[in-house]
Structure 1
Amino acid sequence: MRSISSRQRSRILELEEAARPLEPDTGERDRLMESAHAYAQRLLNELPDRPAYNHDKSAAAGLRRLRIGADTLPIEALIERVDESVVRPGLLPSHGGHLGYVPGGGIYASSLGDYLAAVTNEYAGVRFAGPGSVEMEDLILDWMASLVGFPESSDGNLASGGSIASLIAVVTAREAAGLRARDYERAVVYASAHTHHCLHKAIRVAGMGEAVRREVARDRHFRLCPDSLAELVAADRARGLRPWLVLGSAGTADTGAVDPLGPIAEVCEREGLWFHVDAAYGGFFALVEACRPLLAGMERADSLVLDPHKGMFLPYGTGAVLIRDGEALQDAHAYYASYLQDTVESEWGGRSPAAVSPELTKHFRGLRVWLPLLLYGEAPFRACLEEKLELARYFHREIEALGFEVGPEPQLTVVTYRWVPESGDANAFNRALVEETHRDGRVFLSSTTIDGTFVVRMAALAFRTHLHTIDQALEVLREAVERLEAHPERWRPRVDAAKARG
């Protein structure tokens, strides 16, 4: 074997020395960790006093003053830049006042799981390489399947969120039905107007943008009507179309409505349709005994999506898909390559997550789920979910007492409401109302449009949202209405405002 030249040896050692900052020693690791931990502690301690929403987003541009790859700064300065340009502008998702979109979580124990996952850099895509990380994911999926009532023959995947999880489900449904490109324009998808848009996107990304879409009627509580579904399916069969996929919801983003899952499942089973349930928001309420009847029928779905970063209060980037027929999941997604031939047979056996997902490079996200569950058990998660249910009911009652027009009694933790002024455009008033709350910033509320009516939403799911948060939201809304009624020029066209003053 040819020996290395002294020149080459010197160059290699020189490069090794230049790369040494990437492998800090014990003392440097302690120093870096001390700075990061100090900031985390300060942020968490200051959260109640920080605004939930900062309307001024100009500080984000401060990131551009640092040239990536060229500038270097001490860790303290970089953390300060993160705080000023990333954490402070816009929405603060870790804040208990995040009452807008269905909130994500961020419990502290999960951050430690993420830290350990990054330090160990365990690979969770192939069982041969990471048997422990894959086994941990399997155990988590088994726990979720048991929670929702899926059989032991089911399978699933921990994904980055509901969107990728939905894509996995749609592709599995497509392959299980044996659909090919020539069939797409005859295949029919049934959904309500409040079905989450990520599912429609998943259908398009799966190559089925030509599929026929049918909007199923809703009842007065915004739930999909099984009778309407059955009528549409019968009519489509008579037209020579191919009814294929039904999209149900266990908690819609707009109103938090839970579709009648049992009766929908009966239609699907009778007609041979794939039944998918979007339980990204509402699925984990199965932990609360009182919610079990509401979610009955979820266990009859062919595929189901859950978002632990919602109902389990974990950091963003934690979704899950469950498929009733585990073999269908594997048949739809399994691919193998010759360079991975060593990984096919392992003493551990079983399939690898990379074989049932678009992800080959797969983050070890199981640790952020496993660690808090083993630290605390189910009980505090159950209590937190039940607390949010009570807070939503309390808000619904109190906001009506303030004079707001309210939507249906909340099934989960989303409440819709609006203020109806004595005269003028109610939609314009409520758009201005949302803007007023954003400028206030103490809490963050959002809006949606239902059948042409602009309504305001309150979604209580952040684990730091408590009774005092809801009372503060009520105060913010009351004060905002008073300001807008005192200054109609803020929401009415100038002519209308002048008339009001005259």
Structure 2
Amino acid sequence: MIDRIKQLEQISRKLEPLPSERSQWNKAVQEYADKFLDEFNPNTTFVISEEMGRAIYDFPIEETGKSIEEILDILKDNVDTPNLNPASGGHFGYIPGGGVFTTALGDYLAAVTNRYTGIFFACPGGVRMENLLLRWMCQMVDYPADALGNLTSGGSIANLSAIATARDYKGIKAKDIEKCVVYMTHQLHHCIQKSLRIAGMSECIVRYLPMDRNFKMNPEALNRQIEADLVGNLIPFMVFASAGTTDTGAIDPLEAIGEIAQKHNVWYHIDAAYGGFFMLSDKLKKAFKGTALSDSIAIDPHKGLFLSYGIGAILIKNTAALYQSHHHTASYMQDAFTLEEEPSPADLSPELTKHFRGLRMWISLQLLGIAPFKAALEEKVLLCKYFYTQVQKLGFEVGPQPELSIAIFRYIPDETDANAFNLGLIENFKKDGRVFLSSTTINETVWLRFAVLSFRTHLAQVDLSLTLLKDMVKHHH
């Protein structure tokens, strides 16, 4: 038996690479990353691909390992080249991704040190770091000092956490669900409906409220609807407002909605996944007046703070309510609960084990300071306004004046169907590959979306997209 143990040890020790091997792998990976950032990324936003990464299936997982060079080649051709490159400054589709380089440094260190930051006892400094970041965001949205929340994988889990907390805080039982009413507009992000379903609330009544011509919720209609539902013996449960919708970047009248929610004792949740970090700028914060009235806010550092994908946040004013919904004790954890100075993330979240995702945010803010983030956010808003003005000069029809960094626009050709024509423009952008736009359909009308949120987007990329649009519609004049 001892011989067999020693024999297995020899093989299993390969899991701990020698310093020389580590240094070779580090060097190869760093060269790959630098090449991506310096050569591929600046020039490429979309690559039409026949194969679409199919060779991943021809590269099996085997008993013995392969060389780092071979592995990186497969990665480059099959994962990092085809289709959409969200790290590009030419990415104007959906809500553009982040990818600030410092994210990678934080993730690298978090992975190497493998700290478990779910429980204060295990890593007090890491828990303090994550809670510090949450309190910093709570301060930004005008929440009280004792508010907290949790760092999540993104907006979907953040919204789910808020719904579960509201459900339990309001004492909603299975028998009540069919009488519960939630209020939203058709512009609210679809992850809310998905979260309601996952939280066991899919049988509740959804009231879609009318909007004004700028796609913002009508507060008077909300008030009338809640009053009618109370008369009808229903349970007004939750109102959802958007602080920056995905389609148009609209901000609902947050303060008016908050006052109505408070009056009727309805849980008020704001989805600020995309728009929230614009509040860092004193110039832009005015548009978000009323966040202090909400009970919970979802906000994504991987959007407005430009970090790489995989970090969202839920901010909850009533920390005790969040704790009631999410904490659970197990006997095998009894040693861990003796010295709690700070609330543990595992007690405030559906996740127990998780990546130490706060480190990427902390290291980025510490290395760079807040100033460049604020400047980038203000720059994106101005670039969007500039695009909105210029695209009209090219003969495009536009939607509402952009409030944040999303504009919608469309071209109306003389003889062909406008919806088909605008979808055709999207295809042309894909073929060109330098810039990527997406489309949306509102009331059966196809609109093109110009969403500026990549920290790498500057005037040059916006001008390029205008030039491309100009060339594409030239023969229609």
TM range (shorter): over 0.9
- Say yes or no: does 1:201 pair with 2:194: yes
Greater shift, 211-220 or 41-50, is seen at 41-50
What residue is the counterpart of 1:489 in the other structure? none
What residue is the counterpart of 1:407 in the other structure? 399
What residue is the counterpart of 1:499 in the other structure? none
Q: 2:34 aligns with which of 37, 41, 54?
A: 41
The answer as to whether partners of 1:308 and 1:318 remain within 8 angstroms in 2 is yes
- Say yes or no: does 1:146 pair with 2:156: no
What residue is the counterpart of 1:473 in the other structure? 465
Q: Distance in 2 between matches of 1:72 and 1:138?
A: 40
Q: Aligned pair in 2 of structure 1 residues 407, 186: CA closer, same or farther (>3 Å)?
A: same
- Say yes or no: does 1:84 pair with 2:77: yes
Shift of 1:441: 1.1
The answer as to whether partners of 1:47 and 1:95 remain within 8 angstroms in 2 is no
- Say yes or no: does 1:445 pair with 2:437: yes
Q: 1:429 aligns with which of 416, 421, 439?
A: 421
SS in 2 for 1:292: helix
What residue is the counterpart of 1:131 in the other structure? 124
What residue is the counterpart of 2:10 in the other structure? 17
What residue is the counterpart of 1:371 in the other structure? 363
What residue is the counterpart of 1:3 in the other structure? none
What residue is the counterpart of 2:228 in the other structure? 235
Q: What does 1:56-95 correspond to in 2, within 5 Å? A: 56=49, 58-70=51-63, 72-95=65-88
The answer as to whether partners of 1:57 and 1:90 remain within 8 angstroms in 2 is no
The answer as to whether partners of 1:437 and 1:480 remain within 8 angstroms in 2 is no
Shift of 1:59: 4.2
Q: 1:384 aligns with which of 376, 388, 392?
A: 376
Q: Aligned pair in 2 of structure 1 residues 217, 71: CA closer, same or farther (>3 Å)?
A: farther
Shift of 1:69: 3.4
Q: Deviations over 1:35-70 (max 9, x none)?
A: 000111111111455320112251400111111234
Q: What does 1:129-278 correspond to in 2, within 5 Å? A: 129-278=122-271
- Say yes or no: does 1:108 pair with 2:112: no
SS in 2 for 1:213: strand
Q: Distance in 2 between matches of 1:45 and 1:131?
A: 38
Q: Distance in 2 between matches of 1:57 and 1:294?
A: 45
TM value normalised by structure 2: 0.98
Q: Deviations over 1:140-195 (max 9, x none)?
A: 00111111111012120000000011100000010111100000000000000000
What residue is the counterpart of 2:282 in the other structure? 289
Q: Aligned pair in 2 of structure 1 residues 430, 71: CA closer, same or farther (>3 Å)?
A: farther
Name the aligned partner's letter for residue 270 of structure 1: K
Greater Rg by CA: 1
Q: Distance in 2 between matches of 1:286 and 1:110?
A: 21
Greater shift, 282-291 or 472-481, is seen at 472-481
% identical aligned pairs: 45
Name the aligned partner's letter for residue 327 of structure 1: A
Shift of 1:360: 0.7
SS in 1 for 2:222: helix
Q: 1:334 aligns with which of 327, 333, 337?
A: 327
Name the aligned partner's letter for residue 437 of structure 2: L
Q: Distance in 2 between matches of 1:466 and 1:69?
A: 45
Greater shift, 129-138 or 50-59, is seen at 50-59
Count of aligned pairs: 477
SS in 2 for 1:454: strand
Show structure 2 runs of 5+ residues with no match: none
Name the aligned partner's letter for residue 359 of structure 2: L
Q: Distance in 2 between matches of 1:48 and 1:64?
A: 25
Shift of 1:424: 2.8
Shift of 1:350: 2.8
Show structure 1 runs of 5+ residues with no match: 1-7, 487-502
SS in 2 for 1:83: helix
Q: Distance in 2 between matches of 1:69 and 1:338?
A: 40
What residue is the counterpart of 2:43 in the other structure? 50
SS in 1 for 2:225: helix
TM value normalised by structure 1: 0.93
Q: Deviations over 1:468-498 (max 9, x none)?
A: 0001111222222347x59xxxxxxxxxxxx
The answer as to whether partners of 1:447 and 1:456 remain within 8 angstroms in 2 is yes
Q: Distance in 2 between matches of 1:59 and 1:270?
A: 53
SS in 1 for 2:178: helix
SS in 1 for 2:193: helix
Q: Distance in 2 between matches of 1:189 and 1:203?
A: 10
Q: Distance in 2 between matches of 1:202 and 1:59?
A: 31
SS in 2 for 1:412: coil
4+ runs deviating over 4 angstroms: none
Name the aligned partner's letter for residue 365 of structure 2: L
The answer as to whether partners of 2:42 and 2:89 remain within 8 angstroms in 1 is no
SS in 2 for 1:393: helix
The answer as to whether partners of 1:168 and 1:357 remain within 8 angstroms in 2 is yes
What residue is the counterpart of 1:500 in the other structure? none
SS in 1 for 2:79: helix
